[in-house]
Amino acid sequence: MRIAVGMSGGVDSSVSALLLKEKGHEVIGVTLRFHKEEVCEGINVCCSPQDVRDAVRVSEILGIPHITLSWEDIFGERVINYFISESLKGKTPNACAICNRDVKTAFLALYLNKVADIDRLATGHYILKEETKEYGTVLKRPKDRKKDQTYFMALIPSEIVPMLEFPLGNMTKDEVRKIAEDYKLPVSDKRESQELCFLMGKSPGEFLEEKVGSRKGKIVHISGKTLGEHRGLFHYTIGQRRGLGISWKSPLYVIDIDPETNTLFVAEEEFLYGDRLFVKDINFIVPKENWKDVQAQIRYRSKPAPVKDIKEKDGGYEVIFGEKVRGITPGQIVAFYDGDILLGGAVIEREDYLA
C-alpha cells in the first residue's frame, strides 16, 4: 500500500513512518510548512522550518522519499483567520480541530489521494481505527488514554476516515520513545509542542492584541455590579478564575463573554454549570440512526457526560445532558462517544437555557 505519513518532525510521526515501512508499505514522508520564520530558542511549535529539517533527517535515515508542502497561506486563511474572527465574536475557538479538518489531516488526505495517488494518510496521533460490524470503520480512544487525541478528530468527515491510518493507537508514549531510541532517531527525545503553533510563545490574548489592538471594557458581576475593567475579551475564556484583577467576597469565574457590549460577566462557580448547549450542525462520523448510548465531551480534558437527548432546534441541534456539566464554552468542540467509539462532533455555538 502507498501511504503518506504526515511528518511533523516529532517522535510520534517519525515512529509512525518507521513502523509502516517495517510492515512493507511504500512510505512517503510529507511535511507541511506553516511558518516561514524561524522560531526563537526555547519556543516549541509545530510545522516550523526546524521541524521540516528534522522530518527530512528522519526520512533520510529511514530511506524514504520526503516532500515539503508550503501551506502557509492555506493555514493562515483556514486556521489563523478563523481563530481571530471567532475570538472577536467572544468565543474560544478550537484551532486544532479546525486544522485537522481543513488542513493537515482530512484535507491533506483528500489532496494527496487526488494529486499523488496516495492510498492512505498516516499520522502520529494516538487514536485507534477499527472495523466494526455495527458501525463500520470507526475511530476509538487509544491504549494510552493520557495521549488520547480522538477529541481533535471529531470534525473529520466520515468519508475521510477510511483514508486515514494511526499506527500508534495500540502503543504508549514511552513505547514510542523507546523505539525511536533503539533506532537512534535524532528526534527520540524531542519535546512536544503544547500550545497553538501560530502563537509563537505568546498567550492567545497577547497574540490577538497584537493583531487587533487593546479593547478594554467592563467586568460585571451577574448581579449587575461593575467590578473592574478587562484587558480585552480575547484574554479570557469561560470558567477562568485567575487574572481577573477584581475582588469579591467569594471566588469569581468568567461565565459569559459579550462582544456586542464588550462586557465580561463573572459570577460564583455554581453559575458555570448547565445541562444543554446548541450547535449549528453535527459532523456524523457514525450515522445518527446508529447512535445509542451517547456521551459528550465539551473540552479536551473534560470528563464525558451522558447525553439525554439531541433534538433539532433553530436550524441546528440542541444537546441535552443527563447531568449538569461545567464550563460550556462557545467555540470549543463537543465530541460525541459511545464508550470508546468517536461518533462525531460539532462546534459549540452557545449554552442553551431552559425556556
- Determine the length of the chain: 355
User: Is 99 a catalytic site residue?
Assistant: yes
Enter the C-alpha cell of residue 133. Answer: 460490524
User: Is 46 a catalytic site residue?
Assistant: no
Catalytically annotated residue among 46, 47, 96, 197? 197
**Residues 6+ away with beta carbon under 8 Å from 128:** 139, 140, 141, 142, 143, 166, 169, 170, 340
Quick one: which of 264, 247, 248 has its CA closest to 256? 264
Q: Phi first, then psi: what are they for 341, rounded to 5°? A: -85, 130
Instruction: Please name every residue paired with 351 in a beta bridge, in sequence order, or none if there are none.
Output: 277
Q: Where are the alpha helices (DSSP H) in 33-123?
A: 49-62, 72-75, 81-87, 95-99, 106-116
Catalytically annotated residue among 46, 47, 96, 99? 99
Cα(64)–Cα(38) distance, integer angstroms: 26
Using alpha carbons, list the distances in angstroms from residue 86 to 68, 78, 91: 30, 12, 6
* The residue to which cell 467572544 is assigned: 90
Instruction: Please name every residue paired with 326 in a beta bridge, in sequence order, or none if there are none.
Output: 273
Which residues are catalytic, by number? 99, 197
